[in-house]
Structure 1
């Protein structure tokens, strides 16, 4: 997700937020949460949908991005703002309960529905490694860059999924989440902006974001 701001204050509207898909994609705004603090927009984490177009940041077209990438061009600053666990997503009626779940290997015979590599190659590789650590390669039958699409496919019984735990917020579907809080793999969210960006609003937003995994609350 990208945020475009003007010189004196932060402004966000449909034309100034973009990702890989349409800026009017309801899946993006379904997980977008804003709180207003003294006229500024206070950013919460459960809002990132897809990989941003880094070239828009490098070309001064946009000011601030939130991404799941391991590397960006040298012209950009990149700081981790949040670390999240992964969760397995199952149909509500799936026979495996949270109490009975021990590890992902119990689902090795299932079809898997994953975020595409276009969402984030490092994120995709981490999900693969979660399965490989238990001795199997997932049988991937569907891919998408949209969380809602993935959840709908799981709800329909077409497979199971592994997603960042925070993505379970804001949906009312017949699926259940089992957090993988005992594994080494985590997913990181990074703030990205161009070095030397003088936009006053960008500085204010970065001042609200604590760059070690939480948000400042003034």
Structure 2
């Protein structure tokens, strides 16, 4: 039994006239009659009968018609799903992101992608740049939103060799201060102004490049930061700053916060911006990935 036989049978059942059905199917009447006869032989049932010169479905034919229509519908749906998957309109996008991306780039990119491809499933997780690059090379994720290297002019080595990257933003280093801090009255600060301050810092395992680069900026300004509290995520860092446990250096954009608790200030030091990039493996041929990169 073939799908073309099912389609022919359904049209004949709808028309109850082989001649009209043949016209709809762009077949000759003898060719269509042979298809129906072959289908009946395969099924070992009689699908049509002539009663008082009328062409009608048998009881078996009526039962088979409902099932044939369902099979054809599901077949058409399967074809459309395969075609849409190839176009990247269906499927899953596995995306990991650094936490600092959640305050601007991630909602902006995902919002555009969701509008364009609402039926793609998003598999999202917050993860460090190092873990993302490992997962991209292993094929465990499709795309990363990460900081592939320290700012230009620093000594940190890039983390994404062998991966394709596309810059989506260049972000400054900012100072986070408790709202009641004496330095809040200044609109811009120098790193040297923070030399005697206790710091709340990223834990090194959570982001060694970020940690080491920020410490390096401080040392270039003439001091080593006195780190008194550490946290793995920026929201916790901001909460600790709000509690008055120290100041911090953060890569923008910063999380929303109550200005009566935490204040952010720009630095006047000539520090290079920190790039946020989309990264993917050139070996990944996922159509969904291609559509996401179009949105980017």
**TM-score, scaled relative to structure 2:** 0.55
| Runs of at least 5 residues in structure 2 that lack an aligned partner in the other structure | 1-84, 120-124, 150-157
Structure 1: give runs of 5+ residues left out of the alignment: 1-5, 22-26, 42-46, 210-218
Aligned to 2:177: 90
Paired residues for 1:174-189 under 5 Å: 174-180=261-267, 182-189=269-276
Question: Secondary structure of the residue that 1:53 maps to in structure 2?
Answer: helix
Instruction: Give 1:74 deviation, angstroms.
Output: 4.3
Q: Which moved more, 1:170-179 or 1:47-56?
A: 47-56
Give 1:120's aligned residue.
207
Partner Cα separation in structure 1 for residue 103 and residue 170 of structure 2: 21
The counterpart of 2:140, out of the listed 50, 61, 65, is: 61
Task: Quote the RMSD (CA, aligned, Å).
Answer: 3.3
Task: Give the aligned partner of residue 142 of structure 1.
Answer: 229
CA distance in 2, matches of 1:189, 1:167: 14
Relative to structure 1, the CA distance from residue 28 to residue 178 in structure 2 (aligned partners, 3 Å threshold; closer, same or farther) is closer
Which of 144-153 and 128-137 deviates more? 128-137
Matches within 5 A, 1:39-54: 39=117, 50-51=128-129, 52-54=131-133
Q: Tell me, yes or no, if structure 1 residue 152 matches structure 2 residue 230.
A: no
Quote the offset at 1:131 in angstroms.
Answer: 1.4
Q: Does residue 195 of structure 2 align to residue 108 of structure 1? A: yes
Contact in 1 for aligned 2:148/2:160 (Cα 8 Å): no
Q: Which residue of structure 2 lines up, in the alignment, with residue 196 of structure 1?
A: 283
- 1:212 aligned partner: none
Q: Is the 8 A contact 1:48 1:67 kept in 2?
A: no
Cα separation, partners in 2 of 1:67 and 1:206, compared to 1, 3 Å = same
Q: C-alpha displacement at 1:28, in angstroms?
A: 8.7
User: Which structure: larger Rg?
Assistant: 2
Contact 2:96 2:127 in 1 (8 A): no
1:130·1:185 contact (CA, 8 Å) conserved in 2? no
Q: Deviations over 1:166-190 (max 9, x none)?
A: 023x334710000125422321212
Residues 3-42 of structure 1: matches in 2 within 5 Å? 8-9=88-89, 18=96, 33=107, 34-35=110-111, 36-39=114-117
What is the TM-score normalised by the length of structure 1? 0.72
Go from structure 1 to structure 2 and tell me whether the alpha carbon gap of 1:101 and 1:191 turns closer, same or farther (over 3 Å shift): closer
Tell me if the contact between 1:48 and 1:66 (Cα under 8 Å) persists in the aligned partners.
no
Distance 1:177 1:141, change over 3 A: same
Larger relative helix fraction: 2
Corresponding residue pairs, total = 191
Alpha-carbon distance, 1:12 to partner = 7.2
Q: Runs (4+) of structure 1 moved beyond 6 Å?
A: 10-13, 27-31
Q: State the Cα distance separating 1:142 from its structure 2 match.
A: 1.9
Q: Which structure ranks higher in relative contact order (CA pairs < 8 Å, sequence separation ≥ 6)?
A: 1
Matched with 1:133 is 220
